[in-house]
């Protein structure tokens, strides 16, 4: 219908280059696409076509072709986006920017659909849904959203005449950035050595997906003199997750108290965690200071976690109970040293010769000895200088 300009609230608009092009088109060819208005009575608000209404007013026109929405509109932005997307004189950058806005609007309304195993069971919005709403392919929408994001970074891309050329330009830019990042990647880490320092900081200099297994015995929280709050160690395990290869193992020799903590916290980093521990039974260990009705604590729990879905080396399940004598106190070079035989058995169950094994809390350096004996490569990190020197002597 034709609506008098005097019955419309003329919106303020920016008289930019786009405004000038639209004005020239209207002067030469008149209006190609009706505007959208809203209201039960004058003055009507403009939903879509603000520049066109302003130009008609500037040109002294008395009326304009419009579609009038009288009922209440829950989301005027949605109507405006769809109406603008139906225009046949859209430039490629206007099209991709409108699609980008619509996708963001839907995510705001419904939330972002979570990815993962329960993808089909949780609510939210996906790009696939936006593609269906627009009636275009998922590949086409993904391409357009990438272009819209590139326009946010570099508005000068609007000067490119066609979408195909713009795509070529951003792909060339991506390749150039990728090559530059590749040149900044750290070199392959030298294996079969111990490093002195903070594991969190050292691991940052190791490239992602380097190790096949992490087998470690971090400080326990329950020791009075040297206990460490486990939450302070989580940044190390975040780096461990990054430097582990897909489908790899993490073993954490821990206390009963700390096992529960890691069971709850490691999945938040990305690990899958076995709900029950491996039990290291120490048959000759004698505990002291227990009450008369308590049993001896002659075992330690070992937490097993995975990045991805790795497989153990045997075709059948291994027992979750491992029996190894503890290191005799007279032979210990570390107060909580684990026997080489225990570490060796775990390594043989989860890896093959040539595998790369990490221990970010090296302690006695027993992992290095076990790796040498079984043909694995290792990297040990220890922050205590005296313990580090003992590890060096052990591996010399």
Name the CA dihedral angle for 189, 194, 195, 199, rounded to a multiple of 10 degrees: 90
Place of tokens 């160690």: 233
| Closest CA relative to residue 192, chosen from 349, 348, 374 | 374
What is the CATH T-level fold of the domain 2-144, as seen in this structure?
3.90.1530
What pTM was estimated for this model as a whole? 0.54
Q: Which of 252, 266, 270, 264 is nearest to 209 (CA)?
A: 270
Residue 392 has pLDDT above 80, yes or no: yes
pLDDT in tens, 39-85: 888 999 887 788 889 999 999 999 998 888 776 666 666 676 767 77
Burial of 392 (0-12, 13-18, 19+ CB in 10 A): middle
Token pair recorded at residue 365: 């350096």
Alpha-carbon 92 to chain mean position: 31
Average pLDDT over residues 84-94: 77
Distance CA 362, CA 237 (A): 14
Structure tokens at 83: 């109406």
C-alpha closest to that of 48 among 76, 27, 73: 76
Domain limits of the chain? 2-144, 193-395
CB 390 within 8 Å of CB 365: yes
The residue-averaged pLDDT of 346-356 equals: 95
Q: Report the alpha-carbon distance of residue 305 to residue 299 in Å, rounded.
A: 19
Evaluate whether 373 touches 340 at the Cβ level (below 8 Å).
yes
Is the model's pLDDT at 222 over the cut of 60? no
In whole angstroms, what is the distance from residue 187 CA to residue 256 CA? 39
Q: In CATH terms, is domain 193-395 a member of 3.30.2400.10?
A: no
């Amino acid at each position: 219908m034709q609506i008098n300009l005097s019955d419309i609230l003329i919106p303020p608009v920016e008289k930019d280059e786009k405004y000038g092009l639209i004005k020239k088109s209207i002067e030469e060819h008149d209006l190609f696409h009706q505007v959208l208005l809203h209201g039960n009575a004058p003055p009507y608000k403009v939903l879509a076509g603000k520049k066109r209404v302003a130009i008609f007013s500037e040109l002294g026109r008395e009326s304009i072709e419009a579609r009038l929405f009288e009922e209440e509109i829950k989301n005027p932005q949605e109507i405006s986006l769809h109406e603008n997307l139906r225009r046949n004189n859209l430039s490629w950058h206007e099209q991709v920017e409108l699609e980008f806005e619509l996708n963001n609007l839907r995510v705001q309304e419904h939330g972002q659909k979570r990815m993962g195993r329960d993808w089909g069971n949780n609510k939210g919005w996906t790009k696939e849904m936006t593609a269906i709403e627009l009636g275009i392919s998922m590949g086409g929408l993904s391409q357009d959203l990438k272009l819209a994001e590139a326009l946010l970074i570099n508005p000068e891309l609007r000067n490119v005449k066609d979408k195909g050329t713009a795509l070529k330009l951003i792909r060339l830019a991506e390749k150039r950035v990728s090559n530059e990042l590749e040149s900044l990647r750290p070199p392959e880490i030298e294996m079969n050595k111990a490093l002195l320092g903070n594991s969190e900081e050292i691991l940052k200099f190791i490239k992602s997906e380097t190790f096949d297994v992490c087998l470690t015995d971090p400080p326990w929280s329950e020791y009075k003199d040297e206990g460490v709050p486990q939450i302070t160690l989580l940044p190390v395990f975040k780096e461990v997750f990054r430097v582990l290869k897909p489908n790899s193992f993490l073993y954490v020799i821990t206390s009963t108290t700390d096992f529960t903590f890691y069971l709850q916290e490691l999945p938040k980093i990305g690990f899958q965690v076995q709900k029950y521990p491996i039990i290291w039974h120490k048959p000759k260990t004698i505990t002291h200071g227990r009450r008369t009705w308590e049993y001896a604590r002659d075992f330690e729990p070992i937490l097993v976690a995975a990045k991805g879905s790795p497989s153990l080396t045997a075709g059948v399940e291994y027992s979750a109970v491992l029996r190894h004598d503890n290191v005799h106190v007279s032979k210990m070079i570390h107060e909580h040293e684990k026997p080489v035989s225990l570490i060796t058995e775990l390594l043989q169950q989860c890896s093959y010769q040539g595998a790369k094994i990490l221990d970010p809390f090296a302690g006695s350096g027993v992992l290095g000895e076990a790796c040498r004996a079984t043909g694995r490569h290792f990297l040990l990190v220890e922050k205590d200088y005296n313990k580090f020197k003992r590890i060096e002597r052990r591996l010399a």
